Structure 1
């Protein structure tokens, strides 16, 4: 009887013992009223063997050596041991000891974020605000991914805001890296479980943008059959480095999107980017996910399918007209047709995704076009199915497998299994187009009865100068080709481009017009932006009039359902 009571006491104590937990606190480091660093403190219970590893920020997306943004790393209740790996430390402590880690996050680069050279994913710490992506700023202990996590901000100046997708309950350690934390002079607006944290002055109101984001996210949840969930969008304004320079982009996280844009970014372009990133809540995360091994080789699905469903859901919900869908698709078709990387293999994408902007765009383009072809193939086969049936079945199986704790089947493998079962004959498409990189061409009737896809040879677009070098040189013309139409029109190296007044990037058949500063004078330079050679261009041409029953049929084709 005594043995039974003792055993029962052990069980009761275990049942009421506090669950393992990692507790993060952010606080300011100020000098003369200006923020200079963000202090981070976190505590947890170490491993029973007396050693626990901690992971420092290292590499993420296009960034590397992120540990350079970490200063003053110290521990209470443990000894920190160097491992020879800049991204890892080992803590030695008493078995199961409570350990407290402290450090400071700094901005390890100079000036305001500009967007030149890519989105500013490294920690941003300015005098009145900060922007941190979890993977680039938060140190994590090597504990079970299901370990509970809490995050809070304390001690910041009165009136400063704080917003993070790590604020709601039920978070685990695996969510820390896929997170964003902002504070300072951000304005935080709420619509149900969705929040938007925005800073800077824009051509649109905070309320208008928040309402539009809310409508997009609601449409996506409706398509995927999911209820409202917490979601955070952060809008960080980039510095306008030169007249006419424009940058917008960002990254989708587990239940957030971190967005960056110059003040001249248009609301429609912002909404389109947000619509793409919002889809990443489901693609690929809830349809199987992708492996961290050779990750970029799977982007044809994760990014390509996301782009396909960006347009599809926008039309389905009425947020886009068929004309807006066609314009968006045609911009992509022109970029894909003229891309020097158009027929690169998937192996090249895996190696150079972060090194070559043309290679970086390829999986978005290739995957979207293939999804369009597969959707058309399913609709043409009859039986009332389209591509939606494939991805929704992938979601059902993936979520069911996760609930049953079955071994994970990644999205690329799950797609290859599910597609034939849904009646989609893949043939050798994956080998021919994804792996070998053959050029993808849409069938003429891909969007019937909306219109048709035309195919023709066009002259390659080129502005005659090195665009990347010119942008990096504060819009001062660099690398001008003396044999180009731009040179013949009077453009010269050293002139500063003030703005573009006409032209369509990627279209060699539309005259481009630049206003430039030549010494003390302003000049207008006009020319046809034609390079050498030609390429095959496809274009989705809507047939007029689109109204009544025909418009309804068109919406059903573009929006599915």
Structure 2
């Protein structure tokens, strides 16, 4: 035995020596490659010569080049918004030079420019970007401010997404402030650094004269940059936004930020948000903060985007990073990334004391109603909705409600059901919180995103039950939501106020254009669908009477199920008459409330599920 042990030791020693030699050899072979990578320096200057005309000016300086040409690329989409947006379409005046001497440059595909170096090690690229689309995911420049969504502004050298860069912002002469999640460079005003392009592209920049206030929560300094004015109370927002931060941090046990930036655009009518690595961009209505609905609506948006700090920015599907910025990044898990976030915004509002228990359950009833009343929920699964987001979610048409379901809305319900299922199975010992935290720690430890199977396995481990049937029905399938069963586990009574009623139903939506009444959608299997009404038909009369502004209200007030009505429409300039037999409305109208006689078991589920 001793002899065998000695042989093994010698064999191991020889093996280690061979491994060192191979490693050294590979390092010698690859060292020029790594040296070239290490020598590449990328610096940007961002300025605004004509902000009133909506232009941003970019100068990219590349140092340490060694090839005869360099390809620079503009991303085609912005992570968090799953649509190819072709940002290169806004680029103008692309030029390159070395030491002031013009270099040959040509565009070789839709988003790539090739610059021939002529032996130069250092060169500069200059171009302008037209920025005049108001949204949280696109850049906008005017004389009052500049909002920079980096994927639509900064090009990158091909093959260099892992490279660091610096950005020097030169504000227009009437602007004085810059707000961003990027790390500042010490001693250099308005100059920032990014360790790689995933960081740069995930760090929006607000430039102008925005109102800025700060608060500290979970040990992290938070900056709030308010553009556009508004009737907000900064001191009140500091307190309530901090509550949301603390509750989100409590779920995961840590806040991964050194600092965090909220960029808020206050418009006459605004909304929407987009999550980023250590910042977010929010749209709001400037005069809505003093109404209860407006104020809580804003905080609800804050809760959604802040929860993304963990869910999707760090706890992410394997397909969502490292990113391919030129092509679609397909995943079947947006029902987790976005849907669960839509669900958790409700829990954060409840746990922060910003919603009452009744507001919480009523919001869930509304969410269930929205999905149940969507015909497309019977056609498209949550998994399919996620995968097809690139071609369907951001490009809806008049038939989308009949063929698709939102992965936000369906995912919110899946989160609700899975959360209660886990609390019920563990008799109030565990909840979806435990799954999310465990998955967060797993992804952080492994340094990669999760697969669908890995998430399911963790949920089964935490709950102690099989979720195969659950996945089959609600994630891969389109089974009806068993909302009454699940909410009863937590002592919630939910009822359909339309149950047993025969409500006449035409099945259209209409819009008024210059006083004319047009059909804007037709619901699947409705009377209008069956008997031939079309989107864009102009409704002239119903049973000889002029069509009222609200056609559906006109039907409900004056007709009953089974009635045959005569509708005259104008289609492509020609009059057409239709006989429509009214059907009964398939839509539910749900309301929910806590059962005051809930059992001890139901109360235990409620407590663990909601955290209150």
Counterpart selection for 1:355 from 388, 392, 395: 395
CA distance in 2, matches of 1:433, 1:396: 26
Q: Does 1:427 align with 2:465?
A: no
State whether residues 490 and 605 of structure 2, in contact with CA within 8 Å, keep that contact through their aligned partners in structure 1. Answer: yes
What are the Cα deviations for residues 412-453 of structure 1, in whole angstroms up to 9, with x where unaligned? Answer: 342023222222421233333223333323243526454223
**CA-to-partner distance for each residue in 1:88-140, whole Å, 9 max, x for gaps?**
1223326782332222222356xxx4xxxxx4643211121111211222212
Q: For 1:401-550, list aligned pairs within 5 A.
A: 401-402=446-447, 408-422=448-462, 423-446=464-487, 448-455=489-496, 457=499, 465-467=509-511, 478-479=518-519, 481=539, 490-491=548-549, 533-535=584-586, 537=588, 539=590, 541-543=592-594
Aligned residue for 1:276? 304
Contact kept in structure 2, 1:374 and 1:424, CA below 8 Å: no
Distance 1:393 1:233 in 2: 27
- Whether 1:307 and 2:342 are equivalent positions in the alignment is yes
In 1, the alpha carbon distance for the partners of 2:514 and 2:230 equals 22
Is 1:124 equivalent to 2:140 in the alignment? yes
Between the two proteins, the alignment pairs up a number of residues equal to: 488
1:186 correspondence with 2:210: yes
Do residues 251 (structure 1) and 274 (structure 2) align?
Answer: yes
Q: Deviations over 1:477-503 (max 9, x none)?
A: 644655779x8784389xxxxxxxxx9
Moved more, 391-400 or 216-225: 216-225
Unaligned 5+ residue runs, structure 2? Answer: 1-30, 185-192, 289-293, 321-327, 520-537, 558-581
Question: Normalising by the residue count of structure 1, what TM-score does the alignment of the two structures yield?
Answer: 0.75
What residue number does 2:413 align with? 369
Query: 1:29, CA displacement in angstroms?
Result: 0.7
| Partner of residue 135, structure 1 | 151
Q: Matches of 1:37 and 1:294 in 2, distance apart?
A: 29
Q: Which residue of 2 aligns with 1:160?
A: 176
For the Cα contact (< 8 Å) 1:150–1:167, is it kept in 2? no
Q: Which residue is equivalent to 1:498? A: none
Q: Which residue of 2 aligns with 1:93?
A: 117
Match for residue 65 of structure 1?
86
The 1:532/1:230 distance shift into structure 2, 3 A limit, reads farther
2-structure distance, mates of 1:263, 1:91: 45
Residues 235-280 of structure 1 show CA distances to partners (whole Å, capped at 9, x for unaligned) of 1133x4xxxxx54112212222212234354121121122112111
Where 2:72 maps in the other structure, the secondary structure is strand
2:417–2:486 Cα contact (<8 Å) kept: no
Is the CA contact 2:76–2:111 (under 8 Å) kept in the aligned structure 1?
yes
Look up the SS of the partner of 2:458 in the other structure: helix
Q: 1:550–1:433: structure 2 CA closer, same or farther, 3 Å change rule?
A: closer
Question: What does 1:263-342 align with in structure 2 at a 5 Å threshold?
Answer: 263-265=286-288, 266-291=294-319, 295=330, 297-342=332-377
Aligned Cα root-mean-square deviation (Å): 3.9
**What is the aligned counterpart of 1:393 among 435, 438, 441?**
438
User: How far apart are residue 44 of structure 1 and its match?
Assistant: 3.0
Question: Residues 443-482 of structure 1: CA distance to partner in whole angstroms, max 9, x if unpaired?
Answer: 4352645422335647599996535xx5xx6998644655
Unaligned runs of 5+ in 1: 1-10, 114-118, 241-245, 403-407, 494-502, 510-530
Q: 1:204 & 1:337 partners in 2: Cα distance?
A: 36
Change (3 A) 1:18 1:410: closer
Secondary structure at the aligned position of 1:24 is classed as: strand
| Contact residue 147 and residue 173 of structure 1 kept, 8 A | yes
Aligned to 2:426: 382
Counterparts of 1:379 and 1:88, CA distance in 2: 52
Deviation at 1:283, TM superposition (A): 1.2
Report the CA distance shift for 1:274/1:155 in structure 2 as closer, same or farther (over 3 A).
Answer: closer
Give the conservation status (yes or no) of the 8 Å contact 2:317–2:333. Answer: no
| 1:74 and 2:92 are equivalent in the alignment | no
For 2:323, the equivalent position in structure 1 comes to none
Q: Would the alpha carbon gap of residues 59 and 173 (structure 1) be closer, same or farther in structure 2, given more than 3 Å must change?
A: closer
Q: Does 1:45 align with 2:63?
A: yes
Q: Which residue of 2 aligns with 1:344?
A: 379
- Relative to structure 1, is the Cα distance of residues 411 and 83 closer, same or farther in structure 2, using a 3 angstrom cutoff? same
Larger Rg: 2
SS of residue in 2 equivalent to 1:123: strand
Cα distance in 2 between the residues matched to 1:417 and 1:492: 49
Q: Distance in 2 between matches of 1:314 and 1:371?
A: 16
Retained in 2: the 8 A contact 1:35–1:129? no
| Structure-2 separation of matches of 1:105 and 1:177 | 16
TM-score (norm 2): 0.69
Alpha-carbon distance in structure 2 between the residues aligned to 1:301 and 1:188 = 33
**Cα separation, partners in 2 of 1:100 and 1:317, compared to 1, 3 Å:** same
Structure 1 residues 191-200 or 293-302, which shifts more? 293-302
Aligned mates of 1:226, 1:172 — CA distance in 2: 24
Contact 1:36 1:126 in 2 (8 A): yes
Q: Is the 8 A contact 1:23 1:43 kept in 2?
A: yes
User: Retained in 2: the 8 A contact 1:50–1:93?
Assistant: yes
